[in-house]
Structure 1
Amino acid sequence: MSHRDREAARLRYALELLARSEVPLRRGDVWEAVAAEVPLTEEDLVHVASRPEPRAMNGFWFATSDLVRAGYMTKSGDGFWAITEAGLAALEEDDDPVAFERSAVARAREATRVLREDQAALRRSVVLPPHPRAEKVRQVAGRFRERGLRTMSSVFAEGRSVWRQDVAEELMRRFVEQEEVDGSSFADKLRTQFAEATDDARLLMAELIAWQVLPLQNPGERKKRERVSVLLEQMNERVLVPAEVDDAFRSWSFNPGQGMAHGIHSALSIVVRLVRQWVDLSDAERDDLLNDPWRWRDFVLQVPGSPFPTQRNELMYLVHPEAFGEVVSSADRDQIRVAFRGEVAGDADDPEHEDPDRLFQLITLALQVKNNGAIDFYQGPLNSIWSRSDDVPDLEPSREGAAAEDDMDGVRPDRVAFPSATSALANTLYIPVPWLQETLDLLERRKQVIFYGPPGTGKTFLAQALAAHVTSGSDGDATIVQFHPTYSYEDFFEGFRPVASDEAGNLKFTLRKGPLRRLADAAADNPESNFFLVIDEINRGNIAKVFGELYFLLEYRDSEISLLYSDEPFTLPSNIFVIGTMNTADRSIAMLDAAMRRRFAFVELHPDRIPVKDVLPSWVAAQGLQDDRADLLDRLNGAIIEHDAKVGPSFLMRDLDDAGVAAVWRYEILPLLAEYHYGEGIDLDARYGLAALRKQASAPISDLHTDAADDID
């Protein structure tokens, strides 16, 4: 039997095994049975270069992929195989293993060809989502379209009918007609407007708000939930947000601009008015509008209310994203049509070209075909082309005031300012409010700060406390990493990592995100929130090696670079703040290069200077302690000449009795000083020991300092 015959026999026998089994079989069990049925020859046992398994096994794995593409079998992600109806039919048709294999390969090739044609057809016929976030939004928007608009049932509570005329009328009275109500925020105003509302009205309004904020980059995840939850929490019989919808709040499709942020009531009033008209339509009329994107557009445009083209474009997108795409700014759509009109084949006087939305769709489809996939008008070379177009004629004469709400489109959403330093924060850190406020202001202004000083000065504790103070109660977050000599760009940002690809232990390399990349993604998704990266011991790593091309972005946050591994454009979000800590006893600040010092502001935390100088006495007083630990530390640092060798207060800010203080002194503080005085032959106990310091307690600290200097001389 030839190698080809053996391979074909194994392939057919594998499918026969699956046909005889009532349950899916594990991949490894199938191979063992196949190898027993068609034994391996010496030729089969030869190992393929760079592969851990013999030639026959390697060929078998690849051949079964043809069976999957042919539709004869399925493979689960956890290593189980099962036969399909098509596979059962194929076994009946071909008894000969070689003929069976040829038929399977031919069918697999045909399936691949059809799939490619289908994908090509999609590129020619529908506007594709430009990124995975938008794809997620489209999926959940379909839930609102089918359950809310088509079946008129609740999107959040299955089987409950709230998309009704009387409920829509109540929303008109309570929300649309009550614009001026008391409240410090939109959520507060909603509470007032719906304080006496029915549960059905609260539920429908919550669903409409969720629908409206679903594709928006701003507000972020937390505020999206807040706007929806404030109404659901008012209900007498509360309803929860479905997990699918809640999860989608983390995604977004486009930046709506500041016009949407400052015109929330106008935007949502259009949505409520649309639903009020919608409930009066017949089932047939609603189906026609949901099935025809152009009729749906005309319906959206005739809804009463302010022109607000961004909101109306969003409504067009939410129901028919395949026709209108993720660009909702009328100004941007105008510029894109001007910049790429030449991509559309045919006569410039074609009636379709006179319709601005149809022309935009045709341009997008043409670029998708040229790009062989989805396109993003806000990224890469496409953005640089259309955003430079200055000559934008009026292509939308039918939309009065089209630019009225779009003046602010494309402007990055406002980031929430840092909260002020509080007495509670000061009491926790034993640091005065003015110093904390000055540091917060510096961090907010410079974005990158390094706390440097000797050991025990609370650098990392302070960094984490400030990050928690700013991000607490928001969508913001803080991540801490520690640099060390072997820490790399691949650890910090992104790199390829080996992962097991199957139960046999075969490895493949996948691109894995590091802590900074994950933080950057979260910051981009929540542009109004603050995010912190705390880098402990920043001077212990090779900073240029760890940051790589990102080093440039620390100084130029608005610039875009191409990433080393993923080879895609990347901008470091401006709402990421970096706090590094540096132990000056380990490495002097002077050893950092000028480029590093230019990118960071430096804040010294030193035992002899405010605020660290007063931390231990304040802590001792707050704890009601009567011991002399604060005085001992003061005298110890007075005896240490080297500025960076002095000892911080955190060593002694613990629940210690006299024996505990003595233990900390002997096993933590003195070994630290021994490293500093290595090779000098100094009697540490005589100079820095507790007994020596207490014996000299009556002497001024300046005298101790002079004595230490004399010893060195």
Structure 2
Amino acid sequence: MLEKLEKVRSLSAAEMGFASPANSEAEADALNSSVTGPELDESDEKYLLTEALLADGFAGVVFSGPPGTGKSRYAREIARLFVEDDEARVFYVQFHPGYQYEDFMESFVPTSSGGFAPKDKVFLQACRRASEVDGPVVLVIDELSRTDVVRVFGEALTYLEKSKRGLSFQLASGRTTSIPNNLIMLATMNPWDRGVEEMDLALERRFARISIEPDPQALEIILSRSALTEERRLRVMRFFQTLYRHVNPLCRIGHAYFLTAQNDDSLKRLWDNQLSFHFERILKRSPEELERIRNGWQAIMAE
């Protein structure tokens, strides 16, 4: 290893034709917490599934879903549960199209003597921490599909596999390191990003995937906390249902988009200043479909 360096409305999601809503007060409270609450607990089904997948031997777990579904929150909260709230054992990074090996693994920095020396970046920092402690250390990668993972991970990609943990390998700098068995990797991705196909080829054997979909129950809770009238909330749910079942997966926006819709004015701003641009971009070659979605939104706002 490297040297140490409010009242809920009566209309339910089930009545809207979605999956059955929470059927007990405890389940409702858990779902309520999942929308805006600060913490998950160890009974959460996605936490339990993540734990089981890691026990099965996967090198990491990717939470996959469209924007606004809570992927990043799940990754961070599940990381917190693994380390029992010890934030010193959680490392965070967000990928972007310009992200490089030198941002993730190691880079060379100037020294006081006028030369250059290798410096550990977040992946090696997480490996080093994992080598120093007995419990799990978690590296959370947001937007995994936004960059070329083969380029960013370099030679470490092979050694992510559980069967190769602890084996030494050489870095680009010539130094050697290894990946401890107690390093857990959690990541998020949008399945419709451009880089997903290439990422799939690199990670399909190493990482398991959990789908995080738009959640009508979560939207119902979000709307119940707003000052929107019951009729307006009903219209929003209908609009969401249309998107939820849309043939174009890019139209299936997440429930979290509606967190800002606290009243009629903010609901209008949500469309004017965010959603309209989203649909114009993804439906620029489908003007008739764009017009149908615009009309659907206008039906929400009609008096």
Alpha-carbon contact 2:268-2:301 (below 8 Å) kept: no
> Structure 2 CA distance, aligned partners of 1:637 and 1:577?
35
Deviation, 1:600, is: 0.7
TM-score of the two chains, using structure 2 as the length reference: 0.75
> Structure 2 CA distance, aligned partners of 1:622 and 1:546?
42
Could you tell which deviates more after superposition, 434-443 or 667-676? Answer: 434-443
1:583 corresponding residue in structure 2:
190
Greater per-residue strand proportion: 2
Of 456, 476, 483, the match for 2:68:
456
Specify the SS of the correspondent of 1:579: strand
Could you tell which deviates more after superposition, 635-644 or 454-463? Answer: 635-644
Deviation, 1:562, is: 2.0
Structure 1 unaligned runs (5+)?
A: 1-130, 134-250, 252-421, 697-713
Residue by residue over 1:623-666, the C-alpha shift from the partner in whole angstroms, topping out at 9 and shown as x without a partner, is 78645175145234156321243100111123621111111122
| Cα pair distance change 1:638/1:632, threshold 3 Å | same
Alpha-carbon contact 1:453-1:644 (below 8 Å) kept: no
1:563 corresponding residue in structure 2:
171
> Structure 2 CA distance, aligned partners of 1:532 and 1:649?
27
Specify the SS of the correspondent of 1:548: helix
Could you tell which deviates more after superposition, 433-442 or 620-629? Answer: 620-629
| Cα pair distance change 1:667/1:510, threshold 3 Å | same
2:104 corresponds to 1:492: yes
1:592-607 alignment runs, 5 A limit: 592-607=199-214
> Structure 2 CA distance, aligned partners of 1:622 and 1:695?
18
2:124 corresponding residue in structure 1:
517
Q: Which residue identity lines up with residue 582 of structure 1 in the other structure? A: M
Q: Which residue identity lines up with residue 278 of structure 2 in the other structure? A: L
| Cα pair distance change 1:521/1:588, threshold 3 Å | closer
2:93 corresponding residue in structure 1:
481
2:279 corresponding residue in structure 1:
673
2:257 corresponding residue in structure 1:
651
Residue by residue over 1:19-64, the C-alpha shift from the partner in whole angstroms, topping out at 9 and shown as x without a partner, is xxxxxxxxxxxxxxxxxxxxxxxxxxxxxxxxxxxxxxxxxxxxxx
Alpha-carbon contact 2:222-2:258 (below 8 Å) kept: no
Higher RCO (C-alpha under 8 Å, 6+ residues apart): 2
Deviation, 1:602, is: 1.0
1:283 corresponding residue in structure 2:
none
Specify the SS of the correspondent of 1:456: coil
> Structure 2 CA distance, aligned partners of 1:578 and 1:633?
36
| Cα pair distance change 1:450/1:671, threshold 3 Å | same
1:124-523 alignment runs, 5 A limit: 427-430=32-35, 433-445=44-56, 446-474=58-86, 477-498=89-110, 501=112, 507-523=114-130
| Cα pair distance change 1:480/1:473, threshold 3 Å | closer
> Structure 2 CA distance, aligned partners of 1:592 and 1:673?
26
> Structure 1 CA distance, aligned partners of 2:195 and 2:105?
27
2:221 corresponds to 1:618: yes
> Structure 1 CA distance, aligned partners of 2:80 and 2:209?
20
2:144 corresponding residue in structure 1:
538
Alpha-carbon contact 2:75-2:140 (below 8 Å) kept: yes
Deviation, 1:536, is: 1.3
> Structure 1 CA distance, aligned partners of 2:248 and 2:195?
12
Deviation, 1:548, is: 0.5
> Structure 2 CA distance, aligned partners of 1:650 and 1:686?
22
Alpha-carbon contact 1:451-1:459 (below 8 Å) kept: yes
Deviation, 1:459, is: 1.0
> Structure 2 CA distance, aligned partners of 1:597 and 1:694?
41
> Structure 2 CA distance, aligned partners of 1:439 and 1:621?
30
Alpha-carbon contact 1:476-1:523 (below 8 Å) kept: no
Structure 2 unaligned runs (5+)?
A: 6-25
Deviation, 1:426, is: 5.7
Alpha-carbon contact 1:476-1:530 (below 8 Å) kept: no
Residue by residue over 1:469-499, the C-alpha shift from the partner in whole angstroms, topping out at 9 and shown as x without a partner, is 2223447521111112221111101121235
- Which structure has the greater CA radius of gyration? 1
> Structure 2 CA distance, aligned partners of 1:666 and 1:132?
53
> Structure 2 CA distance, aligned partners of 1:695 and 1:132?
61
Q: Which residue identity lines up with residue 81 of structure 2 in the other structure? A: H
TM-score of the two chains, using structure 1 as the length reference: 0.34
Residue by residue over 1:104-156, the C-alpha shift from the partner in whole angstroms, topping out at 9 and shown as x without a partner, is xxxxxxxxxxxxxxxxxxxxxxxxxxx977xxxxxxxxxxxxxxxxxxxxxxx
Alpha-carbon contact 2:96-2:147 (below 8 Å) kept: yes
Alpha-carbon contact 1:457-1:606 (below 8 Å) kept: yes
1:529 corresponding residue in structure 2:
135
Q: Which residue identity lines up with residue 487 of structure 1 in the other structure? A: Y
Deviation, 1:449, is: 0.9
Specify the SS of the correspondent of 2:287: coil
Q: Which residue identity lines up with residue 124 of structure 2 in the other structure? A: R
Number of residue equivalences: 268
Specify the SS of the correspondent of 2:203: helix
